[in-house]
């Protein structure tokens, strides 16, 4: 469902980054491994439609992502790709429910209240829906950001270094949640990491 072909990119005065071809099938779960500076984030940005590569093609469900206009690409990303960042990056002026629902309205989709509630309760946040981000712990915030990434039923879930600032116990929990949620929601999963603790958790690896 996702394929990248002969991708390469280079920043203004950096070296040329070349990415091996990659094909991800429906509901497959992959680790994207590589040392820092190897181009992990660049590749994720290219796949999620945030950064146009110099050469090559990204196809998601037969859509050539970079043949879309800017606006279409924004929409496409919102509806098909859920992204979890290193930091939760929630909107401080909105409560937990609204933060998750925001993902739907930003992608021009209708807000499905029961979907939001189901997701939040499956992540153990049922009683936090009316709370504001500053009232939550770091772990709770990250789970909210996972709910936000999943609310639109994306075909692909991307997590960028989700464990880097967590201790062993929480790192394991987060990986468990991500794999669990991805398969529950029938989404493919890419976890980009250089964290050794994550390595043996998923069976497919893409090495940079």
Q: Nearest approach, Cβ of 202 to other proteins (angstroms)? A: 22
Closest CA to 146 of 128, 131, 158, 155: 158
Q: Cα 149 to chain center, whole Å?
A: 6
Q: Which is nearer to other proteins, 51 or 172 (CB)?
A: 51
Least Cβ distance, residue 200 to other proteins (angstroms): 25
* Shortest distance in whole angstroms from residue 3 CB to other proteins: 21
Nearest CB to other proteins, comparing residues 87 and 173:
87
Q: Is 70 exposed, middle or buried (0-12, 13-18, 19+ CB in 10 A)?
A: exposed
Nearer to other proteins, 60 or 203 (CB): 60
Closest to other proteins by CB, 93 vs 203, is 93
Cβ neighbors of 41 (< 8 A, separation 6 or more) are 160, 192
User: Residue 132 and residue 104: Cα distance in Å, rounded?
Assistant: 19
Chain positions contacting other proteins, by CB under 8 A: 41, 45, 48, 50-51, 70-71, 74-79, 83, 85-87, 89-94, 98, 101-108, 111, 148, 160
Is 203 strand, coil or helix?
A: coil
Q: Is the CB of residue 198 less than 8 Å from the CB of residue 163?
A: yes
Of 1 and 50, nearer to other proteins (C-beta) is 50
Residues 6+ apart with CB under 8 A from 142: 84, 88, 162, 174
The minimum distance between CB 83 and other proteins, in angstroms, equals: 5
Question: Residue 98 CB, nearest distance to other proteins (Å)?
Answer: 6
């Amino acid at each position: 469902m996702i394929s990248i072909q002969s991708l390469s990119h280079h920043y203004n005065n950096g070296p040329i980054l070349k990415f091996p071809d990659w094909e991800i099938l429906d509901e497959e779960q992959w680790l994207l491994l590589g040392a820092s500076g190897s181009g992990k984030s660049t590749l994720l940005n290219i796949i999620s439609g945030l950064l146009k590569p110099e050469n090559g093609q990204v196809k998601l469900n037969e859509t050539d992502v970079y043949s879309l206009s800017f606006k279409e690409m924004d929409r496409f990303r919102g509806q098909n790709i859920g992204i979890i960042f290193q930091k939760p990056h929630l909107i401080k002026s909105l409560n937990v429910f609204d933060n998750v629902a925001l993902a739907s309205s930003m992608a021009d989709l209708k807000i499905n209240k029961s979907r939001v509630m189901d997701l939040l309760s499956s992540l153990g946040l049922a009683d936090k829906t009316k709370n504001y981000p500053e009232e939550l712990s770091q772990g709770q915030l990250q789970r909210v950001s996972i709910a936000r990434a999943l609310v639109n039923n994306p075909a692909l879930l991307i997590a960028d270094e989700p464990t880097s600032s967590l201790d062993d116990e929480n790192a394991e929990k987060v990986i468990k949640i991500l794999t669990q949620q991805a398969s529950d929601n029938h989404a493919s999963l890419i976890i980009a990491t250089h964290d050794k603790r994550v390595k043996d958790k998923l069976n497919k690896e893409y090495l940079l």
